[in-house]
């Protein structure tokens, strides 16, 4: 049975005291995670260790980094390697986020290299894919997502694919006031799962968690999470407010 996951991507937000207060509020809310459900916090790099320390003794709660470098080590000022993340207990890393692609020119090939590096360090990649409004309006959303999947994950072995998490980001629905409907989300998630099956077989495709990452909020989370191929959410703004994040967690 594949995992149900709610992952909070804090992006470049919150001060140190705010970050710790948010995590404490979530943990002390006495939220009961359903069986096979995970909650992941993805804070900025400086807070990873402090958040990790708070999560000790709270099964089902994990941390993720928001990025990692594709090389093991070297003269890459300002970068962080997967082995560094592994050394402090980070279990997941977000790769290929739409903002990394848009603002930093990250390519599918880079996502592939970063994901392999993460896997080699024992970290599970949360690999993002998704289309822009222009592509959606042209009706080519599946073509773009297919290309992203092929070029970033297509050369993986079945064993590597089995530990992936995939996040579908309809870029046109992030911070734009537009919303992807539950049927639109389900259609793309089913397409991604079919791609996984065609590449790696049915058993692996049925085991990979696919998260929705397009402005998931307390108001639409229950409907989205009820879709058969939507296994949770990669949450942005709503993960910065403990009450909203808890409502999304409880949507399961």
For residue 210, with 0-12 CB atoms within 10 Å meaning exposed, 13-18 middle and 19 or more buried, which class applies? buried
pLDDT, residue 226, reads 97
pLDDT, residue 193, reads 98
Q: How far apart are CA 42 and CA 28, in angstroms?
A: 19
pLDDT, residue 139, reads 94
Q: Are 225 and 186 in contact (CB under 8 A)?
A: no
| Domain containing residue 13: CATH number | 3.20.20.70
Q: Are 67 and 52 in contact (CB under 8 A)?
A: no
Write out the chain in H/E/C secondary structure: CCCEEEEEECCCCCCHHHHHHHHHHHHCCCCCCCCCEEEEEECCHHHHHHHHHHHCCCCCEEEEECCCCCCCCCCCCCCCCHHHHHHCCCCEEEECCHHHHHHHCCCHHHHHHHHHHHHHCCCEEEEEECCCHHHHHCCCHHHHHHHHHHHHHCCCCHHHHHCCEEEECCHHHCCCCCCCCHHHHHHHHHHHHHHHHHHHCHHHHHHCEEEECCCCCCCCHHHHHCCCCCCEEEECHHHHCHHHHHHHHCCC
Q: How far apart are CA 123 and CA 140, in angstroms?
A: 32
For residue 239, with 0-12 CB atoms within 10 Å meaning exposed, 13-18 middle and 19 or more buried, which class applies? buried
The token pair that represents 17 in the structure block: 């005291």
pLDDT, residue 37, reads 96
Start-end of H helices in 167-238 = 182-200, 202-207, 221-225
Catalytic residues: 97, 169
Q: How far apart are CA 155 and CA 150, in angstroms?
A: 8
DSSP 139: T
> What's the domain count of the chain?
1
Q: Which domain holds residue 178?
A: 4-249
Instruction: List the pLDDT tens digit at each of the 252 positions of the chain.
Output: 899 999 999 999 999 999 999 999 999 998 889 889 999 999 999 999 999 999 999 999 999 999 999 999 999 999 999 999 999 999 999 999 999 999 999 999 999 999 999 999 999 999 999 999 899 999 999 999 999 999 999 999 999 999 999 999 999 887 777 778 999 999 999 999 999 999 999 999 999 999 999 889 999 999 999 999 999 999 999 999 999 999 999 998
End-to-end distance of the chain based on CA atoms, in angstroms?
A: 15
Q: How far apart are CA 218 and CA 251, in angstroms?
A: 8
pLDDT, residue 87, reads 97
Tokens 């980070």 correspond to: 90
């Amino acid at each position: 049975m594949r995992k149900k996951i709610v992952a909070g991507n804090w992006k470049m937000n919150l001060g140190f005291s705010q970050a710790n207060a948010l995590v404490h509020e979530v943990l002390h809310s006495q939220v009961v995670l359903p069986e096979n459900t995970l909650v992941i916090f993805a804070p900025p790099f400086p807070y990873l260790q402090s958040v990790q320390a708070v999560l000790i003794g709270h099964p089902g709660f994990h941390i993720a980094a928001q990025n990692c470098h594709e090389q093991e080590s070297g003269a890459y000022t300002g970068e962080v390697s997967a082995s560094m993340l592994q050394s402090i207990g980070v279990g997941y890393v977000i790769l290929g986020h739409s903002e990394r692609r848009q603002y930093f020119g990250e390519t599918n090939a880079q996502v592939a290299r970063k994901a392999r590096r993460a896997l080699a360090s024992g970290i599970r990649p949360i690999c993002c894919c998704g289309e822009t409004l222009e592509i959606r309006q042209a009706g080519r959303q599946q073509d773009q997502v297919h290309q992203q999947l092929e070029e970033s994950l297509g050369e993986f072995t079945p064993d590597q694919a089995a530990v992936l998490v995939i996040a579908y980001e309809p870029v046109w629905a992030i911070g734009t006031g537009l919303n992807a409907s539950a049927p639109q989300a389900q259609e793309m998630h089913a397409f991604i799962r079919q791609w996984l099956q065609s590449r790696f077989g049915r058993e692996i495709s049925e085991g990979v968690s696919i998260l929705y990452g397009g402005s998931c909020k307390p108001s639409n989370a229950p409907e989205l999470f009820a879709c058969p191929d939507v296994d949770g959410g990669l949450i942005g703004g709503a993960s910065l407010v403990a009450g909203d994040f808890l409502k999304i967690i409880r949507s399961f």
